[in-house]
Amino acid sequence: MNEADLRTRVHELLAAYPPSEVDTLDFLRARFDAGLAWVHFPLGLGGLGAPRTLQAVVDAELTAAGAPDNDPRRIGIGLGMAAPTILRYGTAEQQHRWLRPLWTGEEVWCQLFSEPGAGSDLAALATRAVPDAEGSWRVNGQKVWTSSAHTARWAILIARTDPAVPKHQGITYFVCDMTDPGVQVRPLRQLTGEAEFNEVFLTDVRIPDSDRLGAVGEGWRVAQTTLNNERVAIGGQRTPREGGLIGIVAETWRERPELRTAELHQRLLQHWVDAEVLRLTGERLRQQLAAGQPGPEGAGGKLGFARLAQQLTAFEVELLAEEGLGYDDWTLRRPELVDFNGREAGYRYLRAKGNSIEGGTSEILRNIIAERVLGLPPEPRTDKDVPWKELSR
């Protein structure tokens, strides 16, 4: 499969489903069935088994033709975390059942990992999954900081199935039906006034064993695929030069010369260089990703993204002086996505504070980089071989 073959497939799709004449969902379904959703996925699962790098060819052709996309910001957890995990560990039945509506956006996904007592130490999670007499699992526990739980149809979930073994060994990975009557979603209001996050209470939630990903007790290994892809999804997004937050700040700088000072100019130049370095590092990471599964290197991209976002938003507020202190609306809302570009500087400044927490705290990511990328000695872990039920909590 080469670029010419892909362009031919795109043109055939556009001829059969003219974007201006067909329903958006019909077009997206046809695109998936043509193997043009994610070209590196296997045949029959929205792909063609082609190199990942060729996806840019498809996207450019469809964008030029005015074709609709699947609103990836709204379904980012499904695209960036659930789909790679399902592809790697799911059965053929699971892959065909979930991947198509996931990609088209018909079914939104969320992630039920973190808990009140298991955030940075995720393997300490206490949510229990116990087998019942009907061949299913009954899940009880609480999850927290769950984006999109209020709109999700499905959730990727890790739960403890064996408390008698060390904490990393007794975890199993499931797909949870968010419409189960035992699932209760409550909003968590943030510093921004919004409630994009949620806490989720699970009470005797039934999960068929057919909705398990990977073997029983192998959930931590499966979760590493999710977490590595999450970091790449957050910190490795493709952006043009001077795209994203640095573009917003640079535009203000050019259009408002009365705000400039020599000291701010020097700092802006450093931020611009840092943004470009991060962009190029992300491009290199995507090239590595094209050759296989993401590894711990993605932690560096996510760490750099969080640091730069907080620096740029603070700089923007300082640049705008008293204008930067304004805030348009503190009404409690439950948005479907985070929109950094569509709000004012004050919102961006407050929302960026979460970037060093979500998707793995910056402190944990530094440990990952030190131990798994640089090969430095690991921190002492006295609980590594202790059964989970004997740990103090």
Residue 272 contacts by C-beta under 8 Å, 6 or more apart in sequence? 242, 246, 250
Same domain, 118 and 240: no
- Mean pLDDT on 376-388: 89
Cβ contact 180:206 at 8 Å: yes
Last-in-domain residue among 46, 69, 92:
69
- DSSP letter (8 states) at residue 80: I
How much is the pLDDT for 2?
Answer: 87
**Rounded CA separation 362/354 (Å):** 11
Same domain, 124 and 256: no
**Rounded CA separation 226/232 (Å):** 10
φ, ψ for residue 174, nearest 5 deg: -130, 165
> What is the SS3 assignment for 157?
strand
44-54 pLDDT, tens digit per residue, is: 999 999 998 89
φ, ψ for residue 176, nearest 5 deg: -105, 135
Residue 2 contacts by C-beta under 8 Å, 6 or more apart in sequence? 54
Largest CA distance in the chain: 72
Same domain, 202 and 262: no
Q: How many CA atoms lie within 13 A of 304 on its CB side?
A: 22
CATH code of 345's domain: 1.20.140.10
Instruction: Name the most confidently modeled range: 218-222, 301-305, 375-379.
Output: 218-222
Same domain, 252 and 358: yes
Cβ contact 232:298 at 8 Å: yes
Range of the domain at 236: 223-374
Residue 360 lies in a domain: yes
235-275 pLDDT, tens digit per residue, is: 666 788 998 899 999 999 999 999 999 999 999 999 999 99
328 pLDDT above the threshold of 80: yes
Q: How far apart are the first and last CA of the chain?
A: 54
How much is the pLDDT for 297?
Answer: 67
Same domain, 213 and 255: no
Q: Detail the DSSP E strand segments found in 315-393.
A: none
Instruction: Provide the residue type at 118 as one letter.
Output: A
142 pLDDT above the threshold of 90: yes
Same domain, 32 and 53: yes
Least confident of 33-42, 226-235, 324-333: 226-235
CATH code of 159's domain: 2.40.110.10
pTM of the full structure: 0.89
Residue 103 lies in a domain: no
Residue 224 contacts by C-beta under 8 Å, 6 or more apart in sequence? none
- Mean pLDDT on 48-75: 93
Instruction: Name the most confidently modeled range: 238-242, 306-310, 365-369.
Output: 306-310
How much is the pLDDT for 233?
Answer: 72
Residue 236 lies in a domain: yes
Same domain, 370 and 335: yes
**Rounded CA separation 129/134 (Å):** 14
DSSP per position, 187-232: EE--TTS---EEEEEEEEEEEEGGGEESSTT-HHHHHHHHHHHHHH
Burial of 94 by CB count in 10 Å (0-12 exposed, 13-18 middle, 19+ buried)? middle
- Mean pLDDT on 49-63: 92
Same domain, 363 and 227: yes
- Mean pLDDT on 270-298: 80
Same domain, 245 and 339: yes
Residue 205 lies in a domain: yes
Same domain, 44 and 187: no
DSSP per position, 273-301: HHHHHHHHHHHHHHHHHTTS---TTHHHH
**Rounded CA separation 229/200 (Å):** 23
180 pLDDT above the threshold of 90: yes
How much is the pLDDT for 252?
Answer: 96
Last-in-domain residue among 217, 247, 280:
217
Same domain, 210 and 232: no
Question: How sure is the predictor about 282, in pLDDT bands with cuts at 50, 70 and 90?
Answer: confident
The encoded tokens of residue 279 equal 């962009």
Last-in-domain residue among 217, 251, 267:
217
Catalytic residue (choose from 194, 196, 199, 230) = 230
Question: How sure is the predictor about 66, in pLDDT bands with cuts at 50, 70 and 90?
Answer: very high
Residue 313 lies in a domain: yes
133 pLDDT above the threshold of 80: yes
Same domain, 355 and 265: yes
294 pLDDT above the threshold of 70: no
Question: How sure is the predictor about 353, in pLDDT bands with cuts at 50, 70 and 90?
Answer: very high
Residue 390 lies in a domain: no
The mean predicted confidence, pLDDT, of the chain is 92
How much is the pLDDT for 20?
Answer: 92
Residue 92 lies in a domain: no
How much is the pLDDT for 284?
Answer: 81
Residue 14 contacts by C-beta under 8 Å, 6 or more apart in sequence? 62, 65, 67
Q: How far is residue 389 CA from its own chain's centroid?
A: 31
Provide the domain count of the chain.
3
Comparing CA positions, the residue from 109, 84, 107 lying closest to residue 29 is: 107
CA torsion through residues 229, 230, 235, 237, sign? positive
The percent of residues above 70 in pLDDT, for the chain, comes to 97
- Mean pLDDT on 18-46: 96
Using the structure block, give the residue that is written with the tokens 């979500």.
Answer: 358
Residue 389 lies in a domain: no
- Residue 379 is a catalytic residue: no
